Structure 1
Amino acid sequence: MKIKAKLTFGVGLLFILIVALAVISGWYVNQLKRDTNNILVANYNTLLYARNMLLALEDIDKEPSAMDTFQNNLNLQLRNVTEIGEIETTNLIVKHFATLKNQPANPPLNSLIRKDITELMRLNMDAISRKSDIADETAKKAILIISFTGALCFLIAVILLVNLPSNIANPIKELTESIKEIADQNYSKRVNFVGNSEFGDLARSFNTMAEKLEEYSNSKLEKILKGKKRIETLIDNMHDPVFGIDENKIVLFANDEALNISGLSKEDFIGKAIQDIAVTNDLIRNIIKDIFLPESKINKTEQLKIYADNKESYFEKEVIDINIVPTGETETKFIGQVILLRNITPFKELDLAKTNFIGTVSHEFKTPISSIQMGVQLLENEKVGNLNADQQDLINGIKEDTQRLLKITGELLNMTQVESGTIQINLLPSAIKPIIEYAVKANKSAADSKHVSIEIEMAQNSSTIVADSEKSAWVLTNLISNALRYSYENAVIHIKTEQVNNQVRFSVSDTGQGIQPQYLKKIFERYFRIPGTKKEGTGLGLSISKEFIEAQGGEIWVESEFGVGSTFYFTLNMERKNT
C-alpha cells in the first residue's frame, strides 16, 4: 500500500471513530436528559400538586381561600395526567371535591379525598421509580457503548502511533545512512524496501543510481591510478626539492631531490609527522620553522642557504596551501601544503658576478672621471689661458656630465655594497643640524638654477641621533634632489624634523606632480622608474636609501597625492641619555 493511502486510511479511520464516539455520546446524553425530564415535568409536578391539595384540605375549615387553592392545584393536575390509572384517580378527586363544596361539614368526604390524593401520589412514585430504572439502564448502556468505542479509538491510535511513524521514519533513516555511504564512495551499498510504496520506488531508483556509480567508479579507477602515477613521476623527476604534507602535518610524498638534500630515505620520511622528523634533522627543522605559526605570520617565500651538490647552494622556499571546495559544499577546506624549494644557485652566482662586475667597473670609472675633472679645472684656470664663450659652454657641459657620471658610479657602488651585504654602518651619536646643512648645501646650486627655495623646520629640542651621519646625509641629499627634480620653478621645498617617541622623523615635502597611487609601493624597488617620466635617473636612489635607513634601524615611506605633491619620511633612533 502507498504511504499516502496508509496515512489517509489510518487518519480517516481514526477521524470516523472519533465522530462516531461523539454522535453516540450525544445521543445517549440526550436520552438520559429526556428520561430525567419526564420525571421532573410529569411525576414531580403531580406530587407537588397533590401536596398543595392536602395542605389546602387541612385549611378548608379555617381559611375561605383554601377552596380556591385546592381547585387551582386540581385544575393543574387535570392537565398533567401522564400515568396509567392517574385519570381515574384524578376524576374521583374531582367528584369528591364537588360534593365537599356542597357539604363542607362532612368529615368522611375529607377522608375520601385524602385517600384519592394518596393514591395519586403512589401512582407517580411508582412511575418515578420505574423511570429511574429506565434511566439507569440507559446510562449503563451508554457507558458500555461509549467505553467500547473509546477503547477502539485508543487501540487504533496506539497502533497508528507505533507503526505509522516507524513506517515512515525507518526507511528515511536507512536511506540517509545509505546516502552517507555513497558520499563516502562506498558504491556497493544498497537499500531494500519491500512493497510497492513510495519508499519501494525510491529504493529501486537509489539502487539503480548506486549501481551506475559503482560501474562508473570501477571504469574510471584505472585512469585515476594512471593519472596519479603520472603526477608522482613528474614530481620525482623535478630538479627542485618538493614534498607535501596533509592537514595533520603527515608527509604524503617527497621527490628524490628532497630526499637527497635532507639525507633521508623514503622509509624515514613518508608517512611520518613532519615535526617528528624535524627533531633529528636540522634542515627539515629550518624549512618548517614557520608553518606552525598563525596564518598571518607565515612567511610563504624565503631564501635558504643549503649545502647541496658538494657546494653551498641557494634555494627559494615557497609554501603552497592546498584548499578545495568539497562536492556539494560551499566552504573551502584546507587539506594540506606543498613545500617547494626552487634552486636559485645559478641565478645567485650570476647576480654575484654582475655585482662584482658593476663594482669593479664603477670603481675603475672613478679614476678617468677624476682625471677629466682635473683637466676641466686646468682649462678653467686663467693662467693657462682665457676661454671664449663657446669653449666655456663646452667646459660647463663636460662638468655637468662628469658630475652625473660620478653620481651614477656612486649609486652603483652603493648598490654593490647592498647586494653583497657589505654595507658598512658606523652608528655614532650625531647632531641633526649638520646632516641637514650638508644635504641642503649639496643641492643649493640646483635649487638656485630653478629658483626653488628650501625651508627648514627643526624641532626646538633637536636631539642627538644614533646614526651613520654620512649615509643619512646621502639619503637626505637624494630625497632633496628628487624633490628638486620634480618641483616647478619658484616652488618651495619643506624639510622638517620632529620627535616621535624615541625616534626623530625627517620629512621632505614638495609641491610637484605627485605619484600615482598604483606606484606608491613600487618606488623603493631597484631600477623602478615611474612610467612616462622624462626626468633623468637610474632608479637606484630610493632603493639604496631604503637599505641605508633600514640598516640603521629606521623606516622610510612616502605619502603622495597625485597632482598636489609628495612627502618622503624616514626615521632614525634618538640617543638614549643615562639617567
Structure 2
Amino acid sequence: MKPTGIWNADLGRFAAIASHDLKAPIRAVTSFAELLRTLYALHLKGRGLTYLAQIRINGYHMERLVDDLLLYSRAAVASRAFAAVDTATMVQNVLTRLKPDLGDGVTVTLINLPAIQGDAVQLDRLFQNLLSNALKYRKPDPLQIVIRAQAGPGHTWQFDVQDTGQGIEPEYHQRIFQLFARLHPREVDGTGLGLAICQRIVQHHGGDLWVESTPGQGSTFSFTLPRLPQGA
C-alpha cells in the first residue's frame, strides 16, 4: 500500500493539474461568449443574446464547480501543520465577508467560541459554508443564527450552528453530505459540494459532523474539533 504522505502528495498534484486543465477551456468559452456579446450585441436578436447569457452563466457555474472539487480533494490532504485558531475572530471575519448577503432581518449570535487546534484556512471555509447555507435556505421571516461551543467528547469542542430557516426533512439528513447533493437544484444557486466539503474538513481534523433539523423550524449543524494542547 502506498504511504499516506505520498498518496496525499499525488492527490494534491492531481487536483491542481485537473483544476488548471479543466478551468482553461471553461474560461475560454466564457471569454468568447462575452466577446461575442460585446462586439455583436446590436446584430443579435433577443434569443441570440439569451443563448450567450446562458453560456456565460453555465460557464461560471462550471468554474465554481471545479473550484469546489479542488477544495474537496484538498480537504483530505495534510498540507499545513495544525496551529492555534481563535474561532471567535475567525467567525467575525467570515461575517464581514458575508455582510452583503446578511441584509436586514438576520441576527447572528456568537456564544463561548474558543481557541482550538486546526488548519485555519480549512476552518475558515467550514464556517463560511455553514453560514452561507443558513442564508441560502432562510424563510421570509427574520433569520436568527446562533453559533456556540461546548465541551465535546474526549479532548474536543462541540460547535453548533443553529438557524431558524426552512429546515430539512429527516430522510435527507444523511444525503445532504454526499457529493452533488442538492435539495433545491433550481431555486438556490450552488454546486452541491458545500456540505461535502464541510464534512471532509471536519473528518480531516478527526471530528464528526451531523445535523438535527425540523422542517419549517430550522436546522442545527454540529461538529467536533480538537482542543488546544494543555499549556498552549
Same fold (TM over 0.5): yes
CA shift at 1:465, angstroms? 0.5
Cα distance 1:490–1:364, how it changes in 2: closer, same or farther (>3 A)?
farther
- 1:568 to 2:221 alignment: yes
CA shift at 1:565, angstroms? 1.3
* SS of 1:523 mapped into structure 2: helix
Q: TM-score, normalised by structure 2?
A: 0.70
Does structure 2 conserve the Cα–Cα contact (< 8 Å) formed by 1:493 and 1:508? no
CA shift at 1:403, angstroms? 7.3
CA shift at 1:567, angstroms? 1.2
Partner of 2:117: 466
Cα distance 1:403–1:437, how it changes in 2: closer, same or farther (>3 A)?
farther
Cα distance 1:425–1:558, how it changes in 2: closer, same or farther (>3 A)?
farther
- 1:577 to 2:216 alignment: no
Same amino acid, percent of matched pairs: 25
Q: For 1:414 and 1:440, locate their aligned partners in 2 and report how far apart those are by CA, in whole Å.
A: 20
Higher relative contact order (CA 8 A, sep 6+): 2
Does structure 2 conserve the Cα–Cα contact (< 8 Å) formed by 1:494 and 1:509? yes
* SS of 2:178 mapped into structure 1: coil
Q: Which has the higher strand share?
A: 2
Q: For 1:467 and 1:545, locate their aligned partners in 2 and report how far apart those are by CA, in whole Å.
A: 14
Which of 485, 492, 508 is the aligned partner of 2:136? 485
Cα distance 1:499–1:359, how it changes in 2: closer, same or farther (>3 A)?
same
Q: Unpaired runs of 5+ in structure 2? A: 3-9, 35-53
Which of 409, 412, 422 is the aligned partner of 2:77? 422
Q: For 2:148 and 2:163, locate their aligned partners in 1 and report how far apart those are by CA, in whole Å.
A: 15
| Structure possessing the higher radius of gyration over alpha carbons | 1
Q: For 1:475 and 1:481, locate their aligned partners in 2 and report how far apart those are by CA, in whole Å.
A: 10
Which of 166, 172, 176 is the aligned partner of 1:513? 166
Q: For 1:498 and 1:474, locate their aligned partners in 2 and report how far apart those are by CA, in whole Å.
A: 18
Does structure 1 conserve the Cα–Cα contact (< 8 Å) formed by 2:158 and 2:222? yes
Q: Unpaired runs of 5+ in structure 1? A: 1-304, 306-311, 313-351, 377-396
Cα distance 1:468–1:522, how it changes in 2: closer, same or farther (>3 A)?
same
Which of 436, 450, 459 is the aligned partner of 2:91? 436
Does structure 2 conserve the Cα–Cα contact (< 8 Å) formed by 1:436 and 1:473? yes
Q: For 1:561 and 1:490, locate their aligned partners in 2 and report how far apart those are by CA, in whole Å.
A: 16
Which of 8, 14, 20 is the aligned partner of 1:363? 20
Which of 193, 203, 209 is the aligned partner of 1:550? 203
Cα distance 1:545–1:532, how it changes in 2: closer, same or farther (>3 A)?
closer
Partner of 2:190: 537
Map residues 4-403 of structure 1 onto 2, 5 A cutoff. Answer: 356=14, 359-364=16-21
Q: For 1:363 and 1:476, locate their aligned partners in 2 and report how far apart those are by CA, in whole Å.
A: 27
Cα distance 1:514–1:463, how it changes in 2: closer, same or farther (>3 A)?
closer
- 1:453 to 2:106 alignment: yes
CA shift at 1:406, angstroms? 5.5
Q: TM-score, normalised by structure 1?
A: 0.30
Q: Which amino acid aligns with 2:204?
A: A
Cα distance 1:458–1:521, how it changes in 2: closer, same or farther (>3 A)?
same
Does structure 1 conserve the Cα–Cα contact (< 8 Å) formed by 2:168 and 2:214? yes
Q: Which has the higher helix share?
A: 1
What are the Cα deviations for residues 2-29 of structure 1, in whole angstroms up to 9, with x where unaligned?
xxxxxxxxxxxxxxxxxxxxxxxxxxxx
Cα distance 1:429–1:437, how it changes in 2: closer, same or farther (>3 A)?
same
Cα distance 1:432–1:543, how it changes in 2: closer, same or farther (>3 A)?
same
Cα distance 1:529–1:447, how it changes in 2: closer, same or farther (>3 A)?
same
Q: For 1:564 and 1:442, locate their aligned partners in 2 and report how far apart those are by CA, in whole Å.
A: 26
CA shift at 1:363, angstroms? 2.7
Q: For 1:556 and 1:404, locate their aligned partners in 2 and report how far apart those are by CA, in whole Å.
A: 27
Q: Which amino acid aligns with 2:179?
A: R
What are the Cα deviations for residues 264-321 of structure 1, in whole angstroms up to 9, with x where unaligned?
xxxxxxxxxxxxxxxxxxxxxxxxxxxxxxxxxxxxxxxxx6xxxxxx9xxxxxxxxx
Which of 517, 525, 540 is the aligned partner of 2:178? 525
Does structure 2 conserve the Cα–Cα contact (< 8 Å) formed by 1:497 and 1:504? no
What RMSD, in angstroms, separates the aligned Cα atoms of the two structures? 3.6
Does structure 1 conserve the Cα–Cα contact (< 8 Å) formed by 2:150 and 2:159? no
- 1:495 to 2:135 alignment: no
* SS of 1:558 mapped into structure 2: strand
